[in-house]
Amino acid sequence: MLNIGIIGAGRIGKVHAESITYHIKDAQVAAIADPLMNEATTSWANNLGINKVYHDYKEILKDDSIDAVLICSSTDTHADISIEAIKANKHVFCEKPISQDLAKIKEVMEALKGSNVKFQVGFNRRFDHNFEAVHNAVAAGKVGDVHIVKITSRDPAAPPIEYVKVSGGMFLDMTIHDFDMVRYLTASDVVEVYANGTCLVNPAIKDAGDVDTAIITMKLANGALAVIDNSRKADYGYDQRAEVFGSKGQVAVTNDASSTAVISTSEGVTGEKPLYFFLERYMASFSKEVSLFVQAIIKNTEVPVNINDGLQPVLIAKAAKKSLDEGRPVLLSEIAF
């Protein structure tokens, strides 16, 4: 039985703790830490059978019985805690992004050199049943050579302005998933980015120096083209779609809904709206990504999302921001790393 420590007891930390407890048979959450740990969170943890509850995550790192850690703390702490965990010889699952600072990601990469630590980055959408089906079809050659990738990703509501001010911008906190998805679906790296963005949802987002609506086009190393469209607000729900078109055909997936029921009457034909929140849409994917992390440790195999997979979307996001600021296509080779 693998003993896991969770660092960060916020929303995503709780999701992982419950997922491991209820759905992953080869691991257990042995400890959890959060500087804001309170009586309610402690009671929640105890009810899951987690008896080691700390304010200081270092208590987890110095516990020899802990095999691996899930880093679910604030983004600005991910890299430093990752390095500490690697030095403590703990396997690491780090929520995305590893850091908004490329120099910090490089430090983590250096820390991993020569170690036996497994390091996985939390890009959970790779493990969604829809996107996996697209990936598998492309990998099996069903669509032939990839020519065009289209990804639509629109949130049901814009985040609070307080979050926007510290998020690193839409490309780093939202589109980063889509940048990863382009690489995942095509098995190819991005070489050039052109981003166009504006504010159509909330003028306060513009005042905070960000955009809430964007279209990003990319050239890939395999010659394919990709386009992502983003919005911070889709009134009808969480809009998550993808299509890959190639020399032999195309594969596409649409949104998940609470049911596939379609009502047809004299007044018209209606169906269910997409699921509204990301936890509804992607809950199963959170379980699967951690399950595969656990299996990589137990079987001593490669993790499915490695540190380079964590690095590349940040590089693309930096290129997209540079493109938006300068109004031109930007090569990834222009982003210093």
Backbone angles phi, psi at 84, to 5 degrees: -60, -40
> What confidence category does residue 279 fall into, taking pLDDT thresholds of 50, 70 and 90?
low
Contacts of 114 (CB under 8 A, 6+ apart): none
Task: Name the least confident of 141-155, 237-251, 275-289, 294-308.
Answer: 275-289
Give the pLDDT of residue 275: 80
Tell me if 83 sits within 8 A of 90, measured CB to CB. no
The candidate with the shortest Cα–Cα distance to 289, out of 50, 126, 58, 56, is 126
* Partners of 33 in the β-ladder: 7, 54
> What confidence category does residue 273 fall into, taking pLDDT thresholds of 50, 70 and 90?
confident
- Whole-number Å distance between alpha carbons of 191 and 141: 23
CATH number for region 126-281+312-334: 3.30.360.10
Q: What is the pLDDT of residues 202-248, one digit of tens each?
A: 999 999 999 999 999 999 999 999 999 999 999 999 999 999 999 99
Q: What is the pLDDT of residues 46-85, one digit of tens each?
A: 999 999 999 999 999 999 999 999 999 999 999 999 999 9
* Mean pLDDT for the chain overall: 96
Q: What is the pLDDT of residues 175-191, one digit of tens each?
A: 999 999 999 999 999 99
Torsion of CA 128, 133, 136, 141, to 10 degrees: -150
Give the pLDDT of residue 126: 97
Antiparallel, parallel or unpaired: β 52-54 and 27-33: parallel
Task: Name the least confident of 44-58, 263-277, 292-306.
Answer: 263-277
Task: Map out the domains of the chain as residue ranges.
Answer: 2-117, 126-281+312-334
CATH homologous superfamily of domain 2-117?
A: NAD(P)-binding Rossmann-like Domain (3.40.50.720)
Helix (H) or strand (E) holding 52: strand 52-54
Q: Which whole number is the average pLDDT over 286-294?
A: 97
The candidate with the shortest Cα–Cα distance to 70, out of 112, 34, 41, is 34
Contacts of 243 (CB under 8 A, 6+ apart): 134, 148, 149, 150, 151, 250, 251, 252, 253
Q: What is the pLDDT of residues 78-134, one digit of tens each?
A: 999 999 999 999 999 999 999 999 999 999 999 999 999 999 999 999 999 999 999
Tell whether the model's pLDDT for residue 298 goes beyond 90: yes
Place of tokens 């996996």: 132
Share above pLDDT 70 across residues of the chain, in percent, rounded to a whole number: 99
